[in-house]
Structure 1
Amino acid sequence: MPKAYKKQVTQMQTHNNNTPLQHCNRVKNANPNYTVPSNHTTRLAFVRDLVEKSQKINIVKSDAAVYMRPATNRQKIYYPDREKAMRALATVFCEHVNIVTHQVQISLRNAADACGLSTISQTELNKAKLDKSYAPKPSISRVSRAFKDMVDLGWIVAHKEWQVWDKHAGQWVDKYFEVTELFFKALGITPERVARQRNARLKYLRKEGVNSGLGLTAEQLGVMSVTEIKERQRLAHYRKVFDRIKEKRAITKVKRAINPKTPEQQRHIAQQRVLSRLGASASLMSLEVFKGLVNQELAQLRAIAQYEPSAPPH
């Protein structure tokens, strides 16, 4: 094992002013793992089998992984922490893979949270204490490195042209990525079984039509190839991400508008929002109805902002 990995938890380093700082070279979660949520009760049998295999088989040391090693730029073995991260991510991906398109329908951020690979720095925690509307930004660098290794091994495909830049936020939106045939092979699943499962699922979705979750009729699905379905799902992925970003911005805006205000100021904000929504029709309703709408709006704003009224002075 490399000497760098054998170093103890704490190393003392000194700034120019000789002020000692402590740095830890161990990961915060040495044993990441993924537990299937209790509400995932309608999983496909094939997905359940994938998850079970990912927990039993060390895919990092599988034949498929060793076979791809010469094609990667990495010459060293994977450190135990990296190996554990890759295995935990693989289990999450198995749980959220689309059998037809092979898209992994979970973001890297949520995948990191699901298996305990995300961390929040003390700086981010301090920002949240000072500003209640601020949401601490977790670090998923450990997941990013493990994900890159999985791409290098050919298990994951995430083309650059698939990724979208959010101009408003100045950042990339959630990655769109798919698992490959090698990913299934690393789990001991043959390409023939993968093809059978895809065809069976596609046949079922075509029968269900608009109830399939793809937003297509049976006739539309019947004439579409897997490639066309993939393209449609990829565009749906972007729409879903931007809708979530829009909702998140709206929540942040409400938090900033409500939390610092007095109850009277909050009610005024609710009144203005109701008037803006109703327009001229507001004058056609009774005062009691208008008050009821304002009360509903105020309650909704406070719930979104997680407003906690201060205790009255004794």
Structure 2
Amino acid sequence: MYHREKYIFNRSPKFTRPKKDKSRPAFIKYAIKMASSIDVARTELNYIIQPKDPKTGILIKRKRRLNEHRACAMRAIVIAMIYHFNITSDLVQASVEQLADECGLSTISKAGNKSITRVSRLITDFMEPMGFVICEKVWDKVIGNYTPKMIILTPLFFKLIGISSQKLYNAKKQQLGWINKGLVKKGLKKINFLEARRRGKDNRIRGIFKHRHIKHIFYRKHIKAKKILALDEKEAKQKILRALVSRYSIMELTNLGPEGLKKQINIEYYYLRKLATSPIPNFY
């Protein structure tokens, strides 16, 4: 029998700012400081609030105390969510996968598959039913399934870290003022909170679609490269040759000549080897 402590990965997760660290608004810095000064997994709200099913609104029975492994994950994830929070749209501008990676909560199996279950379950099974976050998905017509969750932080989330609704509203009002100042300079109309949230949501969806499609294209090329390289080298290069002949015009093939074509085949073969052995990157 396995004991739980033997298979829990990273018992002390901590949020690490992304390499492309960006300057954050004063309110975000303040919120991170507040969240870091308390134990967000053990505050009074976690014991007072009765969780509800996000879809039906039916109360969910649960244990009064988060187990320590989930509590540790929550302490890190709350900081990560605040860091990526967009004040005017209420959106966390990061995917669940990105949050998991930055908190050291992603795991890789021996087969090379990534798992973000620990974070996904924390959000789906606890933070959303408690009312700290709202999760939304959008149908992707190109790939034929739903996009990753879009995470919205609620006023209750900020109450959890000791920030009142009024202080949150003041921060949103100030941020909107800066946005409208920039719009006026460009000769454009001012926007209200509702429009700012809609624009933020639209931008987030566009970003998700873009990165998702890039990842999907890379994955398809990755699989195709592995299939070609599973062949004998001579057979693989013959396949590349046929592809090049169909790609180039007669004039282009003539200009290349036998040596040029041979060189191009070797370049393509090297590229396929690199593509086949490269791990699928994160496209945040």
Fold equivalence (TM over 0.5): yes
Q: 1:197 to 1:251 in 2, by over 3 A?
A: farther
CA–CA distance in 2 between the matches of 1:305 and 1:218?
A: 50
Match in the other structure for 1:164? 139
Q: 1:231, CA displacement in angstroms?
A: 4.1
What secondary structure is seen at the aligned counterpart in 1 of 2:128?
Answer: helix
**2:17 touches 2:102 (CA, 8 Å); kept in 1?**
no
CA distance in 2 between counterparts of 1:231 and 1:262 reads 49
Give the corresponding residue for 1:176: 150
C-alpha change, 1:293 and 1:207, in structure 2 (3 Å) is: farther
Give per-residue Cα distances to partners, 1:7-62, cap 9 Å, x unaligned.
xxxxxxxxxxxxxxx32222232212212234314333333333333332212233
Q: Is the 8 A contact 2:38 2:161 kept in 1?
A: yes
TM-score scaled to structure 1, two decimals?
A: 0.68
* Offset of residue 298 of structure 1: 3.8
1:230-279 alpha-carbon deviations (Å, 9 max, x no partner): 44135314423531442342342243234324444444444444444445
1:111 aligns to 2:99 (yes or no): yes
Distance 1:306-1:142 versus aligned 2 partners, 3 A rule: closer
Q: TM-score, normalised by structure 2?
A: 0.74
Alignment-mate amino acid for residue 305 of structure 1? A
Percent of residue pairs bearing the same amino acid type: 23
> CA distance change for structure 1 residues 111 and 291 in 2, over 3 Å: closer, same or farther?
same
- 1:104, distance to aligned residue in structure 2 (A): 1.6
| Aligned mate of 2:24, from 14, 26, 43 | 43
Of 214, 223, 226, 2:196 maps to 226
Q: Residues 112 and 294 from structure 1, CA distance in 2 versus in 1: closer, same or farther, beyond 3 angstroms?
A: same
CA distance in 2, matches of 1:279, 1:58: 66
Q: CA separation in 2, counterparts of 1:221 and 1:267?
A: 59
Structure-2 change in CA distance of 1:218 and 1:296 (3 Å): farther
- Specify every segment of 5 or more residues in structure 2 that has no aligned partner in the other structure, as ranges: 53-58, 279-284
> In structure 1, how many angstroms separate the alpha carbons of the residues matched to 2:189 and 2:217?
31
Question: Is contact 1:275-1:282 (8 Å) kept?
Answer: no
Alpha-carbon displacement from aligned partner over 1:77-132 (angstroms, at most 9, x marks no partner): 112222111112112211222222121222222322322323344xxx1xx3xxxx
Partner letter of residue 164 of structure 1? Answer: W
Relative to structure 1, is the Cα distance of residues 221 and 271 closer, same or farther in structure 2, using a 3 angstrom cutoff? farther
**Residue type at the aligned position of 2:196:** V
Q: Indicate if the aligned counterparts of 1:118 and 1:139 stay in contact, CA closer than 8 A.
A: yes
* 1:261-301: CA deviation from partner (whole Å, max 9, x where unpaired): 44444444444444444456634644366566555544433
- Tell me if 1:24 matches 2:6: no
TM-superposition CA deviations, 1:197-251 (whole Å, max 9, x none): 3344344445667xxxxxxx87377588124314413531442353144234234
